[in-house]
Amino acid sequence: MQNFDVVVIGAGPGGYVAAIRASQLGKKVAVIEKEHLGGVCLNWGCIPTKALLRSAEVLHLINHANEFGIEVGQVKVNLAKMVERSRKIAGQLSTGIKGLLAKNKVTVFYGEASFEKANTLKIKGEKIETIEAKNVIIATGAKARMLPGVEAHPRIWTAKQAMTPEFTPKSLLVIGSGAIGIEFASFYRTLGVEVTVIEMQTRILPNEDSEISALAQKQFEKHGMKFHLGSTSKLTLSKDHVDAVISKDGKEIEKLKVDAVIVAIGISGNTENLGFEKTKVKIEKGQILVNEWCETAEKGVYAIGDVAGAPWLAHKASHEGILAVEHMFGVKGLHPIKATNIPGCTYSHPQIASIGLTEEKAKSAGHTLKVGRFPYRGNGKAIALGEPEGLVKTIYDAKTGELLGAHMIGAEVTELVQGFAIGKTLETTEAEIMHTIFPHPTLSEMMHESTLDAYGKVIHY
């Protein structure tokens, strides 16, 4: 029987990163993967969706080419080629992960893993084999949650089906307005599809700052999207369409007939058939319970990423993978992850990005606030790019100057947010940001101006 220092179950952005870090520490490492190296993120999530959204962005720019002094002839959308490009990129990166694991001498087993006991794993692949591990990291990810009584269908899509559609819908209903729902709504709307979004909460992007949510909805509506908030839907399948009855406060408000429906109401952890009953691992509400170091109730068994709970983000999973490995092998100077230091991004048009506390949560936590805002229309680079719609909002503690949160909407905010992420990790105050020299002309200048605005010193607006 083969014996390893670390065995990682799942080779997604948490699992493969954990395996590589363990190898760097000189450990004998194995990964067990039942489907694709790179996991959902690389194969069916983060990367291929961004490839599709890039196609939509190019189409958006072409449709506005005349504003930039460029005359373009008839534009034709080829969704099949967009999907083909997206799948090619996913395949390229998955192959890259295989190379990285080989370079770091990580043994890869293909199959489904389950615990025989805390340090013994059975692998069901082309053959059944058993291996032993001094430490185990569970990185099995999550799956899309479906509506009660509704199953995936050629016209009722999960995110996976939405990025490899068998046909181009003329009309689309998106159920759920979190990052995934909004990204697909934005993509298909840019292609010219009639898009309606239903959200049970009273505003879209409910985890974002309410001011940013409102601005986002206004921009999406300007692009032709329709929204029903505080609403639910009942779906009925027909041969060539889906009938949807939309209700609010228990009353029917609209009937829709659409070509397809995307269900984007969240995910649930992959905790089934792993043999946890043979261990002390505890599960609650579909996720594995862990401590601040990602360790479960079973000593030497860790859980990271989506299966260990929100926020369901690839970069959080990767960071947890490194944290878990370094903790199990006694690396000094570790710090638990602070949820308020994890940035979140939505790659729609316009983009949305945030980190830390919203204004509402900061107030409810008892902080006295200094809030700054700077609009894109006050920034020279944004105007030159033809992207004058957007906002950078910063939230500081009035007593200490601590940066509590930053919330942005507009071009390239998914890149800008990392500046605030570094600031929060360094426990910055407004003084450091005010005294930082930002390059000109850049969008990043708005981060500076927003901070200046919080303290009554804004220059350009």
111 in any annotated domain: yes
Which of 423, 428, 460, 455 minimizes the C-alpha distance to 445? Answer: 460
Say if residue 231 is in the same domain as residue 314: no
Say if residue 383 is in the same domain as residue 303: no
32 in any annotated domain: yes
337 in any annotated domain: no
Say if residue 308 is in the same domain as residue 354: no
Helices (H), 148-254: 159-162, 179-190, 210-222
| Per-residue confidence in pLDDT tens, the chain, 461 aa | 899 999 999 999 999 999 999 999 999 999 999 988 998 888 888 999 999 999 999 999 999 999 999 999 999 999 999 999 999 999 999 999 999 999 999 999 999 999 999 999 999 998 999 999 999 999 999 998 888 888 778 899 999 999 999 899 999 999 999 999 999 999 999 999 999 999 999 999 999 999 999 999 999 999 999 999 999 999 999 889 999 999 999 899 999 999 999 999 999 999 999 999 999 999 998 899 999 999 999 999 999 999 999 999 999 999 999 999 999 999 999 999 999 999 999 999 999 999 999 999 999 999 999 999 999 999 999 999 999 999 999 999 999 999 999 999 999 999 999 999 999 999 999 999 999 999 999 999 999 999 999 999 999 99
Say if residue 164 is in the same domain as residue 139: no
Say if residue 248 is in the same domain as residue 200: yes
150 in any annotated domain: no
Q: Residues with Cβ < 8 Å from 158, sequence gap 6 or more?
A: 144, 146, 152, 262, 263
Token match 């890259």: residue? Answer: 96
461 in any annotated domain: no
Which structural domain range is residue 161 located in? 156-265
Say if residue 182 is in the same domain as residue 195: yes
Say if residue 239 is in the same domain as residue 273: no
Say if residue 125 is in the same domain as residue 225: no
CATH assignment at residue 404: 3.30.390.30
Say if residue 16 is in the same domain as residue 39: yes
| Phi, psi (degrees; rounded to nearest 5) at 91 | -65, -40
343 in any annotated domain: no
440 is catalytic: yes
Query: What sign has the CA pseudo-torsion 218, 220, 221, 223?
Result: positive
Say if residue 301 is in the same domain as residue 354: no
Q: Which helix (H) or strand (E) holds 46?
A: helix 46-63
Helix 445-454 to helix 413-425 angle (10° resolution) is: 60
pLDDT confidence of residue 147: 86
CATH assignment at residue 191: 3.50.50.60
How far, in Å, CA of 225 to CA of 118, rounded? 51
| Phi, psi (degrees; rounded to nearest 5) at 143 | -125, 160
Question: Helix count (H) and strand count (E) of the chain?
Answer: 13, 24
How far, in Å, CA of 366 to CA of 369, rounded? 9
Residue 410, phi-psi category: left (phi > 0), alpha (psi -120 to 50), beta (remainder): left
Residue positions counted in the chain:
461
345 in any annotated domain: no
Q: Which helix (H) or strand (E) holds 422?
A: helix 413-425
How far, in Å, CA of 42 to CA of 102, rounded? 18
336 in any annotated domain: no
Say if residue 21 is in the same domain as residue 123: yes
How far, in Å, CA of 188 to CA of 199, rounded? 18
Q: Residues with Cβ < 8 Å from 274, sequence gap 6 or more?
A: 9, 113, 114, 115, 138, 140
Number of domains in the chain: 3
Strands of 352-356's sheet in order across = 344-346, 352-356, 403-409, 391-397, 369-375
pLDDT confidence of residue 336: 96
Say if residue 290 is in the same domain as residue 418: no
Count CB-CB contacts under 10 A for residue 84: 12
Q: Which of 60, 64, 153, 440 is catalytic?
A: 440
Per the CB < 8 A criterion, the answer to whether 246 and 252 are in contact is yes
Last residue of a domain, one of 265, 297, 317: 265
